A and B are shown apart, each in its own frame.
Chain A
Amino acid sequence: MHTIDCGHISSVSSPSIGEAGRTGDWRDSTPVIDPQKCIPMKRNKPSCFLCWLYCPEAAINRGIPVEIDLEYCKGCGICAEECPAGAITLVEESNLTIR
C-alpha cells in the first residue's frame, strides 16, 4: 500500500472517527444492551440516551436501536453505570457469545 508521509514536525491530526486508534483493542469486557429494558428502544421513541451522552469515546449512537461501535468501545463500563434502566450489562470477552 502506498504510504504518504504526514510531513508534520509536531503531532497533528484531524478530529475524526478512529483518530485515537482502535481503542476497541483495549476491551476485556463488552457492554450488551437489553432492548426490553433500554428506554428509547422499548418505547420506540427518542429519549434518555444517557449512555450516548456519557460515553467518553463517542462510540454509542443516538438512535433506535441504540448501538455501540465495538471498534472503539474500550469497555470502560460508564454506559452501564449511567443507564437508569439497568439495560446495559458488561460481559467478559471470554463469556461473550454474541459479537
Chain B
Amino acid sequence: MTAAHVTAPGTERIAEAFARAHADGRRAALMPYMMAGYPDVERSREIAAAYVDGGADLIELGIPFSDPLADGPVIHAAAVAALEAGATLHECLTVAAAVAERVPVILMSYINPILARGVERFCDELVATGVCGLIVPDLPREESGLVTAACAARGLALVPLVAPTTPPDRMTEIVAAATGFIYTVAVTGTTGERTGSDGDVPALLARVRGDARVPVALGFGISTPEQASAAAAAGAEGVIVGSRFVRAAGEADAVAIGELVRAFATALR
C-alpha cells in the first residue's frame, strides 16, 4: 500500500494542486470529503477513484470516529456505519493509498484515534501511505504542539480550522502558523447540508485571506453546485463538500457519485 515514488513533501503537493486547478481555469479547487470505510472499505476505494475521475483536485478522507463532535447527522451516521462494517485505521489508509498518487489526500481524523496510535507512528503511516496532510477538528491551536511538530518533521500539512466565531487576534495567529491550506468553517455549527449560510461569508473569507500565505478553502454546509460556485465567487480558493457526497455514498453507485463530483467541478469553471 505504500506509494514510494511520491517523494515531494505533502505541503508542496497541496500547493501544486491548488496552483494546477487555478491554471486549468478553475475558480476554486474542488475538495470532496468522503468517509473511509463507508459504506464499506471496498466501495469506499471505488468512490475515491470516482472522485478523481469526476474532477476532484484534492480529497479530504475522513477516518471514522465513534464520537465526532464537529459533525452533523449524515457524517456521524456514516462513521458509525463504517465502524460497524469493520473499518480499522489500517483499512482506511488503504483507501488513501488507492488514490494518493493521483491527487493529494488530506486525512481528517479526530484526535483520539491519533493519540491511540501514537502521534509519531500515526504520522509515519500517513507518509508511508502518500497522504499529504492532516485535519484534526478537535485539536485547537492550544493543544496542537505535538502534532504540529510531528507533521512539520515529515513535510505533512497540518491544516487549521477557523470559524466565524474566531476573534481577529486569534485568527491572525492561526493563519500565520497554517501549512497546506486554511479550512474556513462557513457556519457556526456542525457539518451538514444547508440551504444558506448564517453570516457574511465574503467578509469572513476576506478576513482569513488578508494574512494568509497558503490557500483558503471553505467548507461546512456547501451542498449544491450553485453553492460551490457562490463560495468561489465569495473568495474561496478551495471548496470542500462533505455531507452531500457522503449521503450519495450511501445511496448511489460509484459512477453516479463520479457524475455528481463532475457537476460540482463544472460549476467551478
Chain A partners chain B = no
Chain A residues within 8 Å of B, Cβ to Cβ: none
